[in-house]
Amino acid sequence: MTEPPDRYWRAAEPKAAYEVVIVGAGGHGLATAYYLAKNHGITDVCVVEKGWLGGGNMARNTTVIRSNYLWDESAAIYEHSLKLWEGLEEALEFDMQFSQRGVLNLVHDLGDRRSSMRRVNANRLNGVDAEWLDAPDVKDFCPIVNVSSDVRYPVIGGTLQRRGGIARHDKVAWGFATAADRLGVDIVEHAEVTGFTREMADGPVNGVETSLGTIRAKKVALVAAGHSSVLASMVGLRLPIQSHPLQALVSALYQPVLNTVVMSNAVHVYVSQADKGELVMGAGIDAYNSYAQRGSFHVIEHQMAAAVELFPMFAHAQVLRTWGGIVDVCPDASPIIGLTPIPGLFINCGWGTGGFKATPASGWVFAETLAAGEASDLAKPYALDRFTTGALIDEHGAAAVAH
């Protein structure tokens, strides 16, 4: 544990022009700024943020970190991310309460087991640590899980990624912000992007109009999870994205009972216990499009029913606070990273429910892409044109786990 720095990021006054303007001071935008400066020596960078830094999905997610994805393309970028996580606190000299307590995915039926085995085997061959646990091993690893057969959907096993875990979301955003700031990046909060400037009507994008005035840039990077479509539509760019509420909650504080992160797709639970003692849980996505940052209460009730089934002691726990974020969901539940049909405009969006764990790698590959002006290797499969060719990276179609 390192002490908090004596200074976080400055409140920068935006200059008239930058080499790169990043729209969105969430985790991904800030990581992009940091790696632009750190890896590519590009420090003439401004991050503009509509609200307060890290106040979107970064402040609202349930902080699960793992890399055990099915498809090669996913495993590659998420494993790269996990490796970065493993050295991040040192690299940024910043305590992010990163804890590799393991991520346990519960399996409830034969089809579930089949696809989990497929994923575990793929992970191993991709160099991603993954284990299959039979029900008794699940009980050994996480004693409070109910593995009795006398439940509606008995736990018949699980998959475990020991290197998975959690981190303190706010501190991740602040860590990247502070490090980027130290390298000379300007971070401007409470500056809402209201439009884009272009060389000519349909020419390259060469800046953004904000509530604080126009800021020119050679390259503009959209990293505005939740509002990607809204911003893209300002330059007539249509995206295969729908924005949905994703709800989460914390319980009151309890002495430690949960030593790992537990997820169950079949009954829609994912939960971990924060250092302060609250249980942090995610619910399912609400069905309808919304930017309201709130969802419907029956989603929470349904999740509580499932949680009590999996963790009988949670019956006594109390819901302290519920909230909602806005997730940008692509048809294949995989992100879009790279160039757009509009010169000068780059995009990184559509992370759906998987964005937090990808924060370092997302910034890393997007910075690479921005610096080179072409998609980096890890980003290539996530190009916008995959929706035309049909080369989707269908993580939910192929029974991957959510979040």
Residues 306-365 that bind another protein (CB under 8 A): 306-309, 312-323, 331
> Least distance to another protein from the beta carbon of 11, Å?
6
- Binding status of residue 196 toward another protein by CB under 8 A: no
By CB under 8 A, the residues from 250 to 309 that bind another protein are 251-255, 257, 267, 276-277, 287-292, 294, 296-298, 300-302, 304-309
Interaction between residue 233 and another protein (CB under 8 A) = yes
Phi, psi of 161 (to 5 degrees): -115, 105
Q: Which is nearer to another protein, 19 or 86 (CB)?
A: 86
CB of 93 to another protein, least distance (A): 15
Residue 152: both structure tokens together: 């509606």
* Smaller CB separation from another protein, 4 or 41: 4
Q: Which residues are bridge partners to 20 per DSSP?
A: 45, 219
Interacting span for another protein (CB under 8 A) from 30-38, 193-201, 227-235, 374-382 = 227-235
Q: Interface residues for another protein in 66-85 (CB under 8 A)?
A: 72
15 binds another protein (CB under 8 A): no
Helix H or strand E segment including 233: helix 228-233
CB of 403 to another protein, least distance (A): 19
Buried/exposed code over 31-62 (b: 16+ C-beta within 10 A; e: otherwise):
bbbbbbbbeeebbbbbbbbbeebbbbbbbbbb
Please report, as residue ranges, which positions from 87 to 126 form the binding site for another protein (by CB under 8 A).
108-111, 113-122, 124-126
Residue choice 140, 230, 372, 374 for contact with another protein (CB under 8 A) = 230
Instruction: Determine whether 325 is exposed, middle or buried from the number of CB atoms within 10 Å of its CB (0-12, 13-18, 19+).
Output: buried
Q: What is the DSSP string of 154-171?
A: ---EEEEETT-EE--HHH
Q: Which is nearer to another protein, 113 or 198 (CB)?
A: 113
Q: Nearer Cβ to another protein, position 258 or 367?
A: 258
Phi first, then psi: give them for residue 300, nearest 5 degrees: -70, -45
H or E element that contains 272: strand 269-273
User: Contacting another protein (CB under 8 A), which of 15, 39, 140, 152?
Assistant: 152
Considering only residues 30 through 69, tell me which ones interact with another protein, judged by CB under 8 A: 52-53, 55, 59
User: To the nearest whole angstrom, how small is the minimum distance from the Cβ of residue 216 to another protein?
Assistant: 26
CA distances from 357 to 196, 214, 218 (A): 30, 33, 29
Closer CB to another protein, 199 or 385, in the complex = 385
- With a CB cutoff of 8 Å and minimum separation 6, the contacts of 88 are 94, 96, 98, 172, 175, 360
Start-end of H helices in 27-134? 27-40, 72-92, 110-125
Residues near another protein (CB under 8 A), total:
100
CA atoms within 13 A on the CB side of 32: 34
